[in-house]
Amino acid sequence: MSMGPVNWLAVFLAAALAVAVGLVWHGPLFRTGRQLIPGRAQRGANYAVVVFVMLVSSAMLGHNFARIGAETLAAKPWLYFMQTGGVSVAFVMPAVWLTHLRQRTEPMRRVVDCLFWLVAYLAMGLVFWVLG
């Protein structure tokens, strides 16, 4: 089985949507008091880090979908959401939860942050599905 081409447009748009979800999630939606990108002095550098993290995640997902193949994804479109949601639930959310637990963060903040990652990853899945 060979790997199909990576949809690089979807990779970049998925990362951009994940960043946009984060800006809304931590801003007007939940008003967590914490910006997705804190600080004023290093604002540009902080944006670059967040965009880089989302690009790495999105590129990994893009390679994953290329490996699954266009034919399989066309026949089973739920795989976009199963894969992105699965990575979030199985890897990202436990890491975020354990980090907050170690820092003794209040439970509701843990839930809000974990749900952000689930929604961001599902949003990336949506972009790959639409552009698939």
Instruction: For the chain, 132 residues long, give each residue's pLDDT as a single digit of tens.
Output: 566 799 999 999 999 999 999 988 887 777 655 555 555 545 555 778 889 999 999 999 999 999 999 999 999 999 999 999 999 999 999 999 999 999 998 888 899 999 999 999 999 999 999 998
CA distance 100 to 96: 6
pLDDT at 43: 52
pLDDT at 1: 56
pLDDT at 12: 98
**Model-level pTM?**
0.87
pLDDT at 68: 95
Residues in the chain: 132
pLDDT at 31: 67
pLDDT at 83: 97
